[in-house]
Amino acid sequence: MIFLTVGTQFPFDRLVKAVDAAAETGRICDEIYAQIGDSAYRPLNFEYIKYLEKRSFDDYVEKASRIISHAGIGTITMAMDNNKPILVMPRLKRYGEVVNDHQVAIARRFEQMGYIFAVYGTDRFQQRIEEFLSFVPRPRGNNAEVVIGRINKFLSEISI
Amino acid sequence: MQRRMKVCLAASGGGHLSQMLKLIDSWQGYETFYITTAEIVKEQLQKLGKVYVVGECNRCSLLRTVKVLLCCMKIIFMERPDVVISTGAAAGCISCFLGKLTGAKVIWVDSITNIERLSVSGRMVRFIADLFFVQWPELTAKYRGVQFAGTVI
């Protein structure tokens, strides 16, 4: 099952529509389930819900083989924590999907690190989604180690 | 016997908290308590230690900010932490300032979502922080006294 989530703050019709088209044309054969938030577009090719409770949301993330999402940091880290390959499409300000274009920078950074698969618009979405279906994220070590080390050192210095 | 150092861990629910929990190995062995904003994460945190839920606030809502401020005041003055560690946002910022007032050291980790500039909270806490981390190397050129030591996620 592929879990599509677009967050809950603003609509994100572009992504819901693009995934619906991919399902329509058979580019995605897997079952899809979606949390569409306030999006006005209603997908025709898979089941969806406006909002999921936190617990059910977690369940869907866990059950999903892959995740498709906006480039929200919460969903990205959740996918990474659960070792799920994730495709993100950043929301853009010019479409009224978000208040600024920070999601583009987030997507680029995580994409560079090899942890996520990013698509920056709907024009190449249909080709890219096929690539995504074989995308394997780069395995991660504990990135926080250096920060942890410095905090730990600071704490032990002041606790003397 | 010497009193164990007490560490206050302040983070709003959601992304801020998940970044905080990545750092959990930093404060092993110290006495800790959490300040967070959402009841929904309380259960999860209770497994780790004492939890205070102060409610959501941001700079747009004065009344709620005052409410959270009073709530945090009560907690910080009662608990008297030696160190406040926060990953944001507003409630974490408030906790840092209150901690500083009571003599605590302050550690701030600015959220990974702040790419081109520090968070509003971070920009304020920077002046009182004893240790200040950013998660984008470019930011160290822009702000004095901040350090980059990798991302925490």
Is B24 within the bounds of a domain?
yes
Q: What is the mean pLDDT of residues A38-59?
A: 93
- What is the number of domains present in chain B? 1
Is B50 within the bounds of a domain?
yes
What is the ipTM score, two decimals?
A: 0.95
Query: Residue A160: what pLDDT?
Result: 74
Residue with the two structure tokens 């006294």: B145
Q: Answer yes or no: is pLDDT of A9 > 60.
A: yes
Which A residues in the span 113-152 are in contact with B, Cβ-Cβ below 8 Å?
A: 143-152
Q: Do A144 and B82 touch (CB under 8 A)?
A: no
Q: Percentage of residues in chain B with pLDDT exceeding 90?
A: 80
Q: Do A147 and B112 touch (CB under 8 A)?
A: no
Measured distance CA(B153)–CA(B151) in Å, rounded: 6
Residue A159 with chain B: CB contacts under 8 Å: 5, 30, 82
Q: Answer yes or no: is pLDDT of A19 > 90.
A: yes
- Nearest C-alpha in A relative to B83: A155
Is B34 within the bounds of a domain?
yes
* CB contact set of B128 (below 8 Å; sequence gap of 6+): B96, B97, B100, B106
Is B1 within the bounds of a domain?
no
| Nearest by CB: B149 against A73, A80, A150 | A150
- Nearest C-alpha in B relative to A141: B153
Q: Do A80 and B153 touch (CB under 8 A)?
A: yes
Q: Answer yes or no: is pLDDT of B1 > 60.
A: no
Q: Do B130 and A154 touch (CB under 8 A)?
A: yes
Query: Residue B91: what pLDDT?
Result: 95
Q: Answer yes or no: is pLDDT of B3 > 90.
A: no
Query: Residue B135: what pLDDT?
Result: 93
Q: What is the mean pLDDT of residues B72-80?
A: 98
Q: What is the mean pLDDT of residues B90-115?
A: 95
Query: Residue A100: what pLDDT?
Result: 86
Q: Name which of A50-54, A142-146, B57-61 the model is least confident about.
A: B57-61
Tokens of A121: 């618009």
Q: Name which of B34-43, B54-63, B115-124 the model is least confident about.
A: B54-63
Which A residues in the span 80-119 are in contact with B, Cβ-Cβ below 8 Å?
A: 80-81, 102, 105-106, 109
Q: Do B15 and A145 touch (CB under 8 A)?
A: no
Residue A154 with chain B: CB contacts under 8 Å: 105, 107, 130-131
Query: Residue B28: what pLDDT?
Result: 94
Residue with the two structure tokens 């701030």: B108
* CB contact set of A105 (below 8 Å; sequence gap of 6+): B115, B116
Measured distance CA(B133)–CA(B114) in Å, rounded: 12
* CB contact set of A107 (below 8 Å; sequence gap of 6+): A71, A88, A89, A90, A116, A118, A120
Is B51 within the bounds of a domain?
yes
Query: Residue B58: what pLDDT?
Result: 78
Q: Do B152 and A143 touch (CB under 8 A)?
A: yes
| Nearest by CB: A147 against B115, B136, B150 | B150
Q: What is the mean pLDDT of residues A78-90?
A: 93
- Average pLDDT of chain A to the nearest whole number: 93
Residue B112 with chain A: CB contacts under 8 Å: 73, 106
Residue A82 with chain B: CB contacts under 8 Å: none
Query: Residue A132: what pLDDT?
Result: 97
Residue B2: which pLDDT band, with cuts at 50, 70 and 90? low
Domain that holds residue B34: 6-148
pLDDT tens-place string over residues A85-114: 999 999 999 999 988 888 999 999 899 989
Q: Answer yes or no: is pLDDT of A4 > 90.
A: yes
Cα–Cα distance list, A19 to A66, A149, B17, B119 (Å): 13, 42, 31, 33
Q: What is the mean pLDDT of residues A17-43?
A: 96
Residue A154: which pLDDT band, with cuts at 50, 70 and 90? very high
Q: What is the mean pLDDT of residues B65-74?
A: 96
Is B153 within the bounds of a domain?
no
In chain A, the domains with their CATH numbers are 2-158 (3.40.50.2000)
